Amino acid sequence: MRFIDRVEAEFEEPFADVLQGFADMGYGCDSTARILGYDKSSFRRLIKRKGISVRWPDASQRIDTRMSYACPNAMIAARRAMAPRYTNPETGESMTATQWANRLGISCTQFLRRYQAYGVSKRLFLPNQRRETR
């Protein structure tokens, strides 16, 4: 089954209407290609070869642009919300690896190494034991 046929079957609409629907929702050409599982440069060539005209949103109006450039704090918050959380079995407190590392006075890499070595155990949440040299 060709790519266009697969997309039309999945969305039950003509290919051009599917693309315009993504554009109307605020997705750019590259994002639409990624969502549909197609290489972005090949996707652009396919659209051109088929003579499909899509009114893509301006860069300032695209969802992907608004999230990554116009609202960096929203992007950071979204990444933080998706980050795995580690729960201390003693206290029930749950934080990300970066937050635990800051609390324990160790690097995030060291925290993740401890996690790989000990799993979620009391030993994972011990503060930095090294003495500071003067």
Is 72 within a domain? no
- Note whether 48 and 7 are same-domain residues: yes
Of 98, 113, 105, 99, give the one whose Cα is nearest residue 132.
105
How large is the average pLDDT for residues 95-108?
Answer: 86
Q: Give the model's pLDDT for residue 42.
A: 92
Residue 51 has pLDDT above 90, yes or no: yes
**Is 76 a member of any domain?**
no
Residue 62 lies in a domain: no
Is residue 38 a part of any domain in this protein?
yes
Residue 50 has pLDDT above 80, yes or no: yes
Query: Cα separation of 44 and 121, whole Å?
Result: 51
Structural domain range at position 120: 83-125
Q: Does the structure show a pLDDT above 60 at 73?
A: yes
Report how many domains make up the chain.
2
Mean pLDDT of 80-95: 81
- Assigned domain for 26 exists: yes
The residue-averaged pLDDT of 109-113 equals 84
Does residue 117 lie within any of the structural domains? Answer: yes
In this structure, is residue 63 part of a structural domain? Answer: no
Phi, psi torsion values for 94, nearest 5 degrees = -125, 125
Q: Is residue 106 included in any domain, yes or no?
A: yes
